[in-house]
Amino acid sequence: MRTYLDHLTVERGLAANTLSSYRRDLRRYAEFLAQNDVDSLSGVSEATVSAFLAHLREGSEDHPALSATSAARTVVAVRGFHKFAVADGMVEANPAGHVKPPRAEKRLPKALPLADVEAILEAAGAPGTPLALRDRALLEVLYGTGARISEAVGLDVDDLDRVDHVALLRGKGGKERIVPVGSYAIEAVEAYLTRARPDLVAARSGGALFLNARGGRLSRQSAWTVLTRAAERAGIDKDVSPHTLRHSFATHLLDGGADVRVVQELLGHASVTTTQIYTLVTVDNLREVFATAHPRAL
């Protein structure tokens, strides 16, 4: 398995977060094989892989049951590993080749009303301290660009053009895209760079835009905490995550009449079908407006 992970790192160039997920999935697979006295790849059958899938969905004392989405990702990792083993001459057949991952439920993304987003943004910067200015700038950038949390904390100062109001985001698989940045986000970043970042900067800061209290680059986990605390202060009792702001960004654009393919480009989706799930949310909004506003709707 170590050879396969090295292959994914060197040959495929997978992102660190994806590699971490694959490593965790394959470690769980190795544990399952050991518990079932399978000590070689040649001893793995299609029934073994199917039993592992059932084990994922049922859970155990050591591991909670996985959702269909998480189990499907794990099966993809296992299938890729066995395919690699065949290609590398370790075994002759791929026992996972015909094992289909569970169909993931198509859940609608959760978007916040604009008023809730604005309340969170206001709450983030309320104290006016250097860290509060950073928090406001971070959340304005997340909502103002639709960036993933890893893309936002990965920004360097030079990645944000405050004159032309654009940002360079580095997405999944190292793909880069340039996105527009709204005036509210630019103003928040300007305030942070002028009045806060100089107080946080240290020798280890490098070019990182968003810094922690010790001068290092802000982590994804810390950025998550920034958002949840701001939501609590704003009195938002919904489950809010950085991806919630991304969902809200996309939904509010579509509600405002943006073309789905434009939103696709802004979000960095490889396929428009990924973006189209947001249109289901806006259709629900249209139905609600129609039901309450049209005289013959009911």
Active site residue 82: no
Which residue is listed with tokens 């709204």? 182
Active site residue 106: no
The radius of gyration of the chain from alpha carbons, rounded to an integer in Å, stands at: 23
Active site residue 278: yes
Buried b (16+ CB within 10 A) or exposed e, 111-123: bbeeebbebbbeb
Amino acid 193 reads: L
Options 170, 246, 247, 252, the catalytic residue: 246
- Whether residue 211 contacts residue 133, with contact meaning beta carbons closer than 8 Å, is answered with no
Compute the distance between CA of residue 153 and CA of residue 155 in angstroms, rounded to an integer. Answer: 5
Nearest to 285 by CA among 243, 261, 266, 257: 257
Active site residue 246: yes
CA 96 vs CA 22, 40, 55, 82, 84: distances in Å: 16, 15, 15, 7, 11
Amino acid 217 reads: R
Taking phi first (over 0 means left), then psi (-120 to 50 degrees means alpha), and beta for anything else, what does residue 19 get? alpha
Active site residue 110: no
Options 148, 197, 217, 247, the catalytic residue: 148
CA 13 vs CA 10, 144, 175, 243: distances in Å: 6, 29, 11, 24
Tell me the backbone φ, ψ of residue 207, rounded to 5 degrees: -100, 10
Nearest to 247 by CA among 273, 282, 271: 282
Options 7, 162, 165, 172, the catalytic residue: 172
Active site residue 243: yes
Catalytic residues: 148, 172, 243, 246, 269, 278
